[in-house]
Structure 1
Amino acid sequence: MNSDHEPESPGRTDRVAALRPGYRADLADGPDRFFEPRRTTCPWCGSAGLTTRLRTTDLLQHKPGRFVLDRCGDCRHTFQNPRLSAAGLEFYYRDFYDGLGEKQLGNTFASRGRMYQQRAAALLPFVSSPKNWLDVGTGHGHFCESAATVHPGTVFDGLDFTDGAELAERAGRVERGYRGSFPELAGELAGSYDVVSMFHYLEHSTEPPRELEAAHRVIRPGGHLLIEVPDPDSRYARLLGRWWLPWLQPQHLHFVPVGNLRRRLTELGFTVLAEQHAEPHDPVDLLAAVWLALDAAAPRDDLPWLPARPDAIRRTLRAATLIAGIPALLLGTLLDRFAVRPLSHRLGLSNAYRLVARRD
């Protein structure tokens, strides 16, 4: 498990120092402005029967703030409450997928080609050669690059609200990269695609129902929608608590139980053709939990949102803590891949689910 930032180097040290004044100004009045008012009703069904499911902090970047996930007692939808504001989304995403985090995350995504091919292959039982495919939340387009080996006759486009889609187009991973909001671009793209995919995208969106409506608008009649999201009903979500990686606070805003998503798709005019739990499971839960706990216990790395650079003693203590945790990291990896993975669905431990639906 890698950290979300690069190993310390002279170049990185200078970049962190250059970013520190900007972050200091952003945090001068505290993090309250990064949140909207707290909701009293469920954003999925409107029920007022809410309970707190989780309280946590930013365990990946360690930016200031505390985050709450509430759960609806009627439909079981889990959501961030209070939710990040537009300023909060900008602040907490900054230097994660871009800036300081761009190289690290790019390398991580580029190394997951086999997983991307498996996602693309989920469509094969229903259609073998779609004409064109729009990947929503495409990042830097690595899924499209891998999916083209599974569907060699398909033209892949990508859409993302960051500059990742433009980077993907320049790198040749997508034919066309769209930057912006999917619901806002849906009118321009209406009826244009045989396939739309949303792999670990819906949980990032502020209004998932609007994203689903946009997908219905963009897909041609008879076309297909692929969705993959974290499974909030995974037993790992309860067993690991705040150390369960898919909570990914504060970026993940919504966690939709599979029954809710199936019903909403049916209401929109889709037919769900397949529901998968074992196949999309990513065997990293125990490894990630150990890493998050070690990283939280160790002194902080040099990060621009901290007031000052850690001194030599704290840097040494951090390195020693992480080295001492290597046996636990190895054990977590072995358990994830060889003990849990073959039984993940049977034990209710799958950390994600995938739906394949046809637009009627």
Structure 2
Amino acid sequence: MAALRTAYLCELAAGTGAFFEARQHRCPWCGSARLGGRLRTTDLLQHKPGEFSLDRCHDCGHIFQNPRLSERGLAFYYRDFYDGLGEERLGGLFAGRTAAYRARAGSVHPHLTGPAEWLDVGTGHGHFCASAAEVLPDVVFDGLDRSDGAELAQRAGRVRRGHRGSFTDLAAGMPGAYDVVSMFHYLEHSTDPQAELEAAHAVLRPGGLVVIDVPDPESRWARLLGRWWLPWLQPQHLHLVPVANLRRRLAETGFTVLAEEHAQAHDAVDLVAAAWLALDGMAPREDLPWLAEPPGAARRALRAAALLAGVPLLLAAALLDRAVARPLAGRWGLTNAYRLVARREGPGTDRPA
């Protein structure tokens, strides 16, 4: 921790300005100049320094980080989240989501016609692939991730092959290599969503499928919970795309949307996550290497007491999520994500008129 603190404080010595690109004055989705502020917040999960803004396009509804993180900023804010200090914690969290992974595989199953090769983009440690293989025994899974997670997934036997790097680079060298491409909560992290869709088109065989899960910026939870809505996930989420926008862009890229799901993609954690973010934000900080000094015994004890006092709030929020919000999510527009399954058109496929 001491070594990490020295490195972090050295990188922060000149402030956070170098972590951002210039502010954009046009919507990166449709090009409109009619922009308005949607949200200003801080890093509510890692508590790394910096302030982040999301703007909304008044013409197409696209929400995007503005100013956007630079490559240096992305490296800084991702560090020790999925790897390093955060690897064990996040690995355990992802490993415990077996039911959600099987549900994702189940959404694609009706559209498969036989054995298939599947590339999971942003695979992390490949836990989805391991669970999906139990539902789809005729499918062979590969994984791609920018971190070493895909390589770890290959060594653990969760994927046949783990690719490390960018999807656009991989697609350029593997045209028509796969029957299915999945992007589960990946596209919102991308600096260029259109390039990712084109990469999916390139790497798929004609008739192949792409399945995409993304946060739904039109969810009522986004308005009700404000900055405490977990899917804002600043500063990692760069683009939040309304479903109509993504449907049109898929069609323009050469896909036909076969299914749109909201309730099936919903993860009933909005209230408990908001309660945790608020409670964690009010409690004194734990020992983090990007803080100037470690907390003393008194601050550590105060944090423990604050979190313990918040347990009833967390339990009540979790109960409401499961017993009330989940069954009514689809009817009341409380779903926090949506899923699209689309088919790549081309020779040998019949495109609807």
TM-score of the aligned structures, taking structure 2 as reference length? 0.97
Letter matched to residue 297 of structure 1: M
Structure 1 residue 269: Cα displacement? 1.2
Q: Which residue of 1 aligns with 2:322?
A: 337
Structure 1 residue 132: Cα displacement? 0.5
Q: Which residue of 2 aligns with 1:301?
A: 286
Mapped to 2, the partners of 1:280 and 1:185 lie a distance apart of 27
Mapped to 2, the partners of 1:91 and 1:302 lie a distance apart of 18
Percent identity for Structure 1 against Structure 2? 69
- Pick the aligned partner of 2:213 from 228, 240, 243: 228
Letter matched to residue 118 of structure 2: W
CA deviation digits over 1:155-189, x for unaligned, max 9? Answer: 10001111111111111111011111111111111
Structure 1 residue 51: Cα displacement? 0.3
Letter matched to residue 23 of structure 1: Y
CA deviation digits over 1:135-171, x for unaligned, max 9? Answer: 0000110000001001112110001111111111111
Contact persistence 1:157–1:175 (CA under 8 A): yes
**Superposition pairs of residues 255-294 of structure 1, within 5 angstroms:** 255-294=240-279
| Structure 1 unaligned regions, length at least 5 | 1-15
Structure 1 residue 203: Cα displacement? 0.3
State how many pairs are aligned: 345
Mapped to 2, the partners of 1:334 and 1:192 lie a distance apart of 45
- Pick the aligned partner of 1:82 from 67, 79, 86: 67
CA deviation digits over 1:39-68, x for unaligned, max 9? Answer: 000000000000000000000000000000
CA deviation digits over 1:13-36, x for unaligned, max 9? Answer: xxx222100001010000000000
CA deviation digits over 1:103-123, x for unaligned, max 9? Answer: 000000000011001001101
Mapped to 2, the partners of 1:331 and 1:346 lie a distance apart of 22
Deviation >3 Å, runs of 4+? none
Q: Which residue of 2 aligns with 1:55?
A: 40
Q: Which residue of 2 aligns with 1:354?
A: 339
Q: Which residue of 1 aligns with 2:350?
A: none
Contact persistence 1:130–1:195 (CA under 8 A): no
| Structure 2 unaligned regions, length at least 5 | 346-353
Mapped to 2, the partners of 1:35 and 1:306 lie a distance apart of 20
Q: Which residue of 1 aligns with 2:153?
A: 168
Q: Which residue of 1 aligns with 2:80?
A: 95
3-state DSSP class of the match of 2:331?
Answer: coil
Mapped to 2, the partners of 1:201 and 1:130 lie a distance apart of 25
3-state DSSP class of the match of 2:171?
Answer: helix
Contact persistence 1:193–1:219 (CA under 8 A): yes
Structure 1 residue 130: Cα displacement? 3.6
Letter matched to residue 280 of structure 1: A
3-state DSSP class of the match of 1:71?
Answer: strand
TM-score of the aligned structures, taking structure 1 as reference length? 0.95
Structure 1 residue 128: Cα displacement? 5.1
